[in-house]
Amino acid sequence: MERLSLKTNKRSELVDITGKIQALISKAEISSGVCLIFCPHTTAGLTINENADPSVKSDIINTLNKVIPEGAGYAHSEGNADSHVKSSLFGSSLSIFIEGGKLILGIWQGIYFCESDGPRQREVWVKMIKDK
């Protein structure tokens, strides 16, 4: 298992980690298999979405903040209840095929770490399973 360290800079942001995940696969010299990616945080998550137009990231963040606003009278007393809800919507793990030593993603897709309670120091755990 590999641990990818990330430093987020905003309370809510989507960080493209596609290149970092691909670099781990290249380093491991895996030509075919599956890449498992896990976020061990309760106020962050993972998603796959468009990585060609940066406005998609801001649209996602702005929509989430409208639908799940910060400080909307939640019972959770730490002030980050909205972050827990957002991370549940994204989810904590992804599974992506590896073929020819490359992640198999759609033409416009990228892998995003979804910060909802930053800025923070974060981790993403990555496990690659090689085909026999």
Q: Give me the number of domains the chain comprises.
A: 1
Q: What tens digit of pLDDT does each residue of 62-85 get?
A: 999 999 999 888 999 888 999 999
Give the pLDDT confidence score for residue 132 in this predicted structure.
Answer: 82
CATH number assigned to the domain comprising residue 32: 2.60.120.460
pLDDT of residue 90: 97
> Using CA atoms, how far apart are residues 39 and 126, in angstroms rounded to an integer?
9
Domain that holds residue 45: 2-71+78-130
pLDDT band, very low/low/confident/very high, at 40 (cuts 50, 70, 90): very high
Q: Is the confidence at residue 104, as pLDDT, over 90?
A: yes
Q: By C-alpha distance, which of 71, 105, 101 is closest to 85?
A: 71
